Amino acid sequence: MSASQKQDQESIKNASQDNVLTDEDLCRIKDFQIGELPKDSTYIRPFRAIFIDERNNNPVKRMWDAIDAHNSVVIIVYNRSTDSLVFVRQFRPAVYVMMSKEAQNASFIADIDFTKQNPKSAITYEFCAGIIDKKHLSNKEHAHVELLEECGYSVDINSIESVAKYRSGIGIAGAFQELFYVEVTNEMKTNAGGGNLSEFEFIAIHEVHVDELYQFLFDETKAKEASLMFGVMWFLHKKGRLP
């Protein structure tokens, strides 16, 4: 490793510890390419469902292409000390690919010229979240671990409440997701958060004051997931803070 690479790594590590990651820190992306998905991917397995549809007593053989993806937990984190919701930000390769495809009006992802697209636009705004990948842990325990790992808050697990259970990506994935809610204070922060470096997670914390949440939701320059839109609306309604 060169001296400048070492310096880069050191500055990223320090920024992560202080939790003052800039957009440049979050996406130092080079040589972005599209590769083949291996059949034994740990994260997603595409498949074709084949079945007989008997509607109108007229049996037809049908198929549906889909993905076997992990179930997940998502946590709405309200910081009472700052009257804000705590979000995480990270570079999302899938969002980058789709944004680039749209920007270049490309028919296929293989046609995208990634040298023309700034990866910063694919730094998303998300609730703290994680895949359910440990059979010995409950969904709430997964949420408890993610809150400490990504946001740095150590809370009593009993203070985490379940809000809703639903399916995500019903057209192609249908994966289960459980949404939780927890309240924290600055005193509960025991580490800088930022994610699990051994999993290459590299996450910035971003708080949005409750008075600005509604506007934040409809700011189309900030990439977000539908579950975040639902979770924020639920929170504003519950707290009587809808504008």
Residues binding ligand ADQ (CB under 6 A): 43-44, 72, 74, 126-127, 129-131, 199-201, 225
Q: How far is the CB of 16 from ligand ADQ (least distance, A)?
A: 14
Strands (E), 10-132: 44-53, 60-69, 72-79, 84-91, 123-126, 128-131
Q: What is the DSSP letter of 203?
A: -
Q: Which is nearer to ligand ADQ, 43 or 166 (CB)?
A: 43
Q: How far is the CB of 90 from ligand ADQ (least distance, A)?
A: 7
Q: Which residues lie below 8 Å from residue 89, measured CB to CB, with a gap of 6+?
A: 26, 123, 124, 125, 126, 203, 204, 205, 206
Q: Which is nearer to ligand ADQ, 176 or 214 (CB)?
A: 176
Q: Which is nearer to ligand ADQ, 43 or 64 (CB)?
A: 43
Q: How far apart are CA 119 and CA 35, in angstroms?
A: 18
Q: How far is the CB of 195 from ligand ADQ (least distance, A)?
A: 6
Q: How far apart are CA 243 and CA 241, in angstroms?
A: 6
Q: Which is nearer to ligand ADQ, 61 or 136 (CB)?
A: 136
Tell which residue, 74, 73, 67, 71, has the closest CA to residue 94: 67
Q: How far is the CB of 187 from ligand ADQ (least distance, A)?
A: 25
Q: Where are the alpha helices (DSSP H) in the chain?
A: 3-18, 23-26, 93-103, 139-146, 213-217, 226-238
Q: How far is the CB of 105 from ligand ADQ (least distance, A)?
A: 26
Tell which residue, 135, 99, 93, has the closest CA to residue 117: 99
Q: Which is nearer to ligand ADQ, 173 or 210 (CB)?
A: 173
Q: How far is the CB of 106 from ligand ADQ (least distance, A)?
A: 21
As beta bridge partners, residue 48 has 65
The pair of three-digit structure tokens given for residue 195, joined into one six-digit string: 């994610």
Q: Which is nearer to ligand ADQ, 99 or 225 (CB)?
A: 225
